[in-house]
Structure 1
Amino acid sequence: MTPEQLSATIVDGLSALVDKGALTLPDGVPTEVTVERPRRKGHGDYATNVALQLGKKAGMNPRAFGELLAQQLEQSDGIAAVEIAGPGFLNITVEAGAQGQLAADIVAAGSSYGSSNAFAGEKINLEFVSANPTGPLHIGGVRWAAVGDALGRIFEMTGAEVTREYYFNDHGAQIDRFARSLLASAQGRPAPEDGYGGEYIHEIAAAVVEQRPDVLTLPEPDAQEVFRALGVDMMFDEIKKSLHQFGVDFDVYFHEDELHKSGAVERAVARLRELGNIYEQDGAIWLATERFGDDKDRVVIKSDGKGAYLSGDLAYYLDKRERGFDRCFIMLGADHHGYVGRMMAMCAAFGDEPHVNLEILIGQLVNLVRGGEPLRMSKRAGTVVTIDDLVDAIGVDAARYALARYHSDSPIDIDLDLWARATNDNPVFTVQYAHARIASLLRNAADLGVVAESHPELLTHEKEGELLRALGELPRVVKAAAELREPHRVARYLEELAGVYHRFYDNCRVLPMGDEEIGELHRARLMLVEANRVVLANGLGLLGVSAPERM
């Protein structure tokens, strides 16, 4: 019995009490109630505070409410006992058979176990990474690659339709600086004072010259345009290749330049003008964002007729909404924190709901540490550490897990020495090793002729119960990770589960020893082990991390 199933049983119990007049709930019976694992042993398999939440609404003392509900629940299938604790907490003990059945249910569900309909029908646009194509992807962007892709997988597991989108910034001053840096390198000159350095600039400049041998004979403005067009494409191809090798691919690569060429900015301004949120002053066009909570109004079109930076944001947001997305997520670095207010005001100016139709997630800084010292330089990129540097140091799995393991709004230090070790102090090794250990056990079982079978009533050992309760948590963890936008919850759950499995294995022998005859308990425990393998594999998959069969 999963927490979700027990929640449904409690809701049914409340409905039964209301139907027979034993209970009055002015706001109606809730569709679900909170069910959690108790923190202390001896407090049952699950606990709920529903009596505290509904007692006063029902005009009853919460403890009396709890006693009434406990009597009803004890008549339900699968419930062994219900105890009242403190002011009205219900500690619920599930029958061994009802709890043990979960193992077979998980195995039957396979890769779909952990899914829900929490976001069913939601069309989500998830924009992340979106690093400028002026250099290799740096470590900050890599964090969003890991977290953003994991969040997309989690949303899909909860029923959403997700489009992963990369905003390709190929318009503006930074692209001009990139082109001038490439041209200077090809001409054998130092990079411009405001330009870009690093070995990659020389590599790309040489590649452009190889593709266009005549480029240095062209007038400088024409040559710079060639370096801009070809160089940006080459750099972006490198970024896409690095992301693909990192396990991250996008459904849409949206070019900023298209917004300015297609008239999208003008359409956005026209829409906002219709809504009464655009005005003209001092020869410029302004968006009245202050009325929507921003600290001041913002210029959209400057007095010289050129679009301000916000103009592209307006056009891009409207474009996403016109493509039918219910929720638009943008993942930004810590240096963009001050940008959130104006973006939410923009959302409201279009008549949408801030933090619902538009959400902005902030990712804090990532520092790499080796030998106790910060790693600040990349041989190829110069002043920044890149995605390739991280992968070369610890591998894709460890890199993705390390970046997704922490709340994205917290700065993190990644100890490269720790994450490269094959020891239990390395979190990803701990989880992957648990999966590999189970795969080895299943191979041994096949060699011995032990076949997993469902005998739920036999799984009565304390450690079997702990493992079953831990396995039952996956759907709740995935749902919470989606609702709170926190993929790190999945990683922390997997680490806890690995520990519970190892304690189970140390206390409950799964396979027969020597000439021991294969019995039903061996088969039942093998089913439990296979269920554990499914959950570990599904959880690792949500983080984009492999579940190895051997290590």
Structure 2
Amino acid sequence: MSRLVDAPSRAEAPGERPVTMACVTPETLADKVLTAADAAFSTAGLDTGVLPETTSVERPRNPEHGDYASNLSLQVAKRVGRPPREVAELIAARLREVPGVAGVDVAGPGFLNIRLAADATGVIAGQVVAAGDAYGHNDSMAGHRLNLEFVSANPVGPVHIGSVRWAAVGDALARVLRASGADVATEYYFNDAGVQIDHFTASLLAAAKGEPTPENGYVGGYITDLARQVVADHPGVLESPDASEVFRTEGIALMFAEIRESLARFGVHFDVYFNEKDLHDRGELDAALQRLRDQGRVFEADGATWLRTTDFGDDKDRVLRKSDGQWTYFAADCAYYLDKRQRGFDRVVIMLGADHHGYIGRMRAMAACFGDDPQTHLEILIGQMVNLLRDGEPVKMSKRAGTFVTLDDLVEAIGADAGRYALARYSSDSTIDLDLDLWTKASSENPVYYVQYAYSRISSLLRNAAELGLSRGDDYDASLLSHPRESDLLKQLAEFPAVVAAAAELREPHRIARYAEDLAGTYHRFYEACRVLPRGDDEFTATGAARLWAVEATRVVLANALGLLGVSAPEKM
């Protein structure tokens, strides 16, 4: 359950008795419903053991049905042998006595429709402002230590649009997990060993010599650029007997430096950049093989060394070392997984593209072969494709990359903010048709503009208030925030910690984007209905001051939501 950061809702002046307001949020209200049910059941002689450890409340679609609704009575009625409405009436009677609850009605087959007192809702504005950057943080993932690997594009070309999606989603997920109390290390696995590096090296050499691209080689202007840079940095390299090794080493270094720079321009920085080659150099593949042998999962056949992954549901056993003595990619995967676990991570999370769906079974079986529980220690997230459109047509391939659209192409087309928001806004298991024309519009049709404009509009209002010498003061009367639009805004602010916790638990940072858009819309409706600053010579009232608290709270939450997505909150637009 998420925890709100405690904060005083009213400052205590010297000699003044503090005023305590009961703040009711979805989380605390759900606790109050359970507490009321426990008390009601005890009084009625009903078994309190049938009550769940946790419950939830939801905002009904129709505001006339109250501020929140609970179906707890329907969940437990059969277990206590009473009609749901009768159970609901018992709980409602207790719940009506709770401070901050203005009324409770029993509706339909046994729903509890709950109305809150204005001050119970309004006090949330003070808590949000007091918490500031920390508002939305919760401890739902406390105690979890996760290694989150994403992007991990091969160093044989620029980051392409498929990997860019993981850059946006992965970085946002890391932020959301940390905000929910998890200890998270982000990691980029750098495949600098294997056949693809041989093809990359041969392609650079051919480009430097002005020869045709070799079979299975890489094409594009970036290959020519890299080859020229290697030659410029190492004059005479083409006549050197070590030319191939120089192009391999320098080409990889240059390409990876470019990848890191592109990611940095996109606002993505990793805690760890891990080289596959280090696994080989440090003998970690041999160590992993021995660990698997000790577990009794390795066998020899046809001159090769195999892992019996079929024992744990894989569709076939996997080769670790081929008959010619060469390690397989799967062997490196095993060593890399073991390395992460030995670094103390209790959960290894790997984000992969749609073409890696078949990877899940073998990796889960591999974890089991090490003696781990795949359900606990390994998590693989699969993301779908991204299609870029302009004028309704697919965007042409990158001039520089030659075969695909790159991260730099996307940033150049719509900017880092729009790119990150657009890619993180949708569930990862859905394909995105990303319309570049839409994401460059300065209008409410553009989701990121819509949210950033709300933040900018609030910043402008607060600047105007300061210029007029108006302040919200050190405290406010929360009961003054009783207009329906104010209530809508405050209830939405109260939900933010639960949204963050859900996004972390479900690995769905797109929930933050959708919440931010809903909040922006709710704020715009509040602004149109509730005047904050006085007109002309009108007096600035206590209601205006209270509304300034709500406005500032909205600014805080919008900034925090955008921050979790790695998107800026502009003061002016």
CA distance in 2, matches of 1:54, 1:166: 48
Partner of 1:6: 29
CA distance in 1, matches of 2:290, 2:162: 36
Partner of 2:86: 64
Q: Does residue 1:433 correspond to 2:453, yes or no?
A: yes
Which of 298, 303, 306 matches 1:283? 303
Deviations along 1:114-155, one digit per CA (max 9) or x if unpaired, are 111110011110000000011111001110000000000000
Q: How does 1:399-410 map to 2 (within 5 A)?
A: 399-410=419-430
Partner of 1:183: 205
CA distance in 2, matches of 1:71, 1:17: 8
Which of 339, 342, 349 matches 1:319? 339
Partner of 1:98: 120
Partner of 1:547: 569
Deviations along 1:34-55, one digit per CA (max 9) or x if unpaired, are 1111111201001111111222
CA distance in 2, matches of 1:58, 1:487: 39
Q: Which amino acid aligns with 2:310?
A: E
CA distance in 1, matches of 2:539, 2:121: 26
Partner of 1:339: 359
CA distance in 2, matches of 1:17, 1:39: 28
8 Å contact from structure 1 (residues 332, 361) kept in 2:
yes
Q: How many residues are treated as equivalent by the alignment?
A: 548
Residues 1:35 and 1:7: Cα distance change in structure 2 (over 3 Å): same
Deviations along 1:211-252, one digit per CA (max 9) or x if unpaired, are 110211113xx2111101000000000000010111000010
SS of the residue aligned with 1:55?
helix
SS of the residue aligned with 2:269?
coil
8 Å contact from structure 2 (residues 303, 322) kept in 1:
yes
CA distance in 2, matches of 1:152, 1:515: 50
8 Å contact from structure 1 (residues 290, 296) kept in 2:
yes
CA distance in 1, matches of 2:549, 2:364: 50
Out of 343-352 and 396-405, give the one that drifted further. Answer: 343-352
CA distance in 2, matches of 1:282, 1:204: 42
Deviations along 1:283-310, one digit per CA (max 9) or x if unpaired, are 2221111111111111112222221221
- Gap regions ≥5 residues in structure 2: 1-23
TM-score normalised to structure 2 length: 0.94
Partner of 1:15: 38
Partner of 1:514: 536
CA distance in 2, matches of 1:32, 1:518: 44
What is the Cα deviation at residue 329 of structure 1? 0.7
Residues 1:265 and 1:371: Cα distance change in structure 2 (over 3 Å): same
Residues 1:11 and 1:26: Cα distance change in structure 2 (over 3 Å): closer
8 Å contact from structure 1 (residues 450, 522) kept in 2:
no
Partner of 1:367: 387
Which of 312, 323, 335 matches 1:292? 312
CA distance in 2, matches of 1:450, 1:105: 21
Q: Does residue 1:24 correspond to 2:47, yes or no?
A: yes
CA distance in 2, matches of 1:251, 1:413: 31
What is the Cα deviation at residue 261 of structure 1? 1.5
Which of 206, 214, 222 matches 2:228? 206
Partner of 2:403: 383
What is the Cα deviation at residue 23 of structure 1? 3.1
CA distance in 2, matches of 1:193, 1:285: 30
8 Å contact from structure 1 (residues 122, 326) kept in 2:
yes
8 Å contact from structure 1 (residues 118, 158) kept in 2:
yes
Which of 99, 116, 131 matches 1:77? 99
CA distance in 1, matches of 2:110, 2:306: 57
CA distance in 2, matches of 1:337, 1:472: 38
SS of the residue aligned with 2:193?
coil
Which of 170, 175, 180 matches 1:153? 175
Q: Which amino acid aligns with 1:273?
A: R
What is the Cα deviation at residue 162 of structure 1? 0.6
Partner of 1:46: 68
CA distance in 2, matches of 1:4, 1:84: 21
Partner of 2:8: none
8 Å contact from structure 2 (residues 151, 167) kept in 1:
yes
CA distance in 1, matches of 2:60, 2:373: 38
Q: Does residue 1:309 correspond to 2:332, yes or no?
A: no
Q: How does 1:213-232 map to 2 (within 5 A)?
A: 213-219=235-241, 222-232=242-252
What is the Cα deviation at residue 18 of structure 1? 4.6
Out of 348-357 and 115-124, give the one that drifted further. Answer: 348-357
What RMSD over aligned residues (CA atoms) do the two structures have, in Å? 1.2
8 Å contact from structure 1 (residues 26, 58) kept in 2:
no
Partner of 1:126: 148
Partner of 2:486: 464
What is the Cα deviation at residue 11 of structure 1? 2.5
Partner of 2:188: 166
Deviations along 1:465-496, one digit per CA (max 9) or x if unpaired, are 11111111111111111111111111111111
8 Å contact from structure 2 (residues 398, 406) kept in 1:
yes
Partner of 1:415: 435
CA distance in 1, matches of 2:333, 2:121: 51
CA distance in 2, matches of 1:351, 1:87: 49
CA distance in 1, matches of 2:37, 2:88: 11
Deviations along 1:158-183, one digit per CA (max 9) or x if unpaired, are 00011000000000111111111111
Which of 505, 508, 512 matches 2:527? 505
8 Å contact from structure 2 (residues 104, 114) kept in 1:
yes
8 Å contact from structure 1 (residues 401, 543) kept in 2:
yes
